[in-house]
Structure 1
Amino acid sequence: MSLVRKHSVAIRGHRTSYSLEQPFHEVLLSIAAQKNMPLAALIAEIDAERPRDANLSSALRVHVLRWVQAGGRTG
């Protein structure tokens, strides 16, 4: 079982944090690399698209899940 770790990132000019299990964070890093973008830019993109009533950590997990379900393709 993977422990949840807290991470900090600057998006749209302000610092925020999110908490993810290491496997989710590793997949986020892989997605950012595949899209040839910094992790902070990917997180900002996901943040901008999430419903306002969803927290950032949950939105990141859902993004990873959808990416994996799509066979690891971006788009």
Structure 2
Amino acid sequence: MTGTIVKRSIEIAGHRTSISLEDAFWAALKDIAAIEGKTLRALIAEIDSSRGGTNLSSAIRLRVLAHYRHP
């Protein structure tokens, strides 16, 4: 996987938003969603609702990091 940034649009909480993440983070996020039995959209919505004032892309990266640091 490369460090290429991929921008995707997704609807969460009734609004569309764009998320820019590196390929590796998108892949890890999909893996985490599968492991937790959630859709990618549901996992992102969960992260969004609990992120406080943090940028969504940053909150996603931190969630992925936490998953691999504390399995």
Match of 1:38 in 2: 39
Percent identical among aligned pairs is 47
SS in 2 for 1:65: helix
TM-score of the superposed pair, with normalisation by structure 1: 0.87
Match of 1:9 in 2: 10
Match of 1:57 in 2: 57
Cα drift, residue 49 of structure 1: 0.5
TM-score of the superposed pair, with normalisation by structure 2: 0.92
Task: Measure the CA separation in 1 of the matches of 2:37 and 2:9.
Answer: 20
Cα drift, residue 66 of structure 1: 0.5
Structure 2 unaligned residues grouped into runs of 5+ = none
Cα drift, residue 27 of structure 1: 0.5
How many residues of Structure 1 are paired with residues of Structure 2 in the alignment?
Answer: 70
Structure 1 unaligned residues grouped into runs of 5+ = none
Cα drift, residue 2 of structure 1: 1.1
Aligned-partner residue type, residue 69 of structure 2 = Q
Aligned-partner residue type, residue 36 of structure 1 = G
Cα drift, residue 41 of structure 1: 0.5
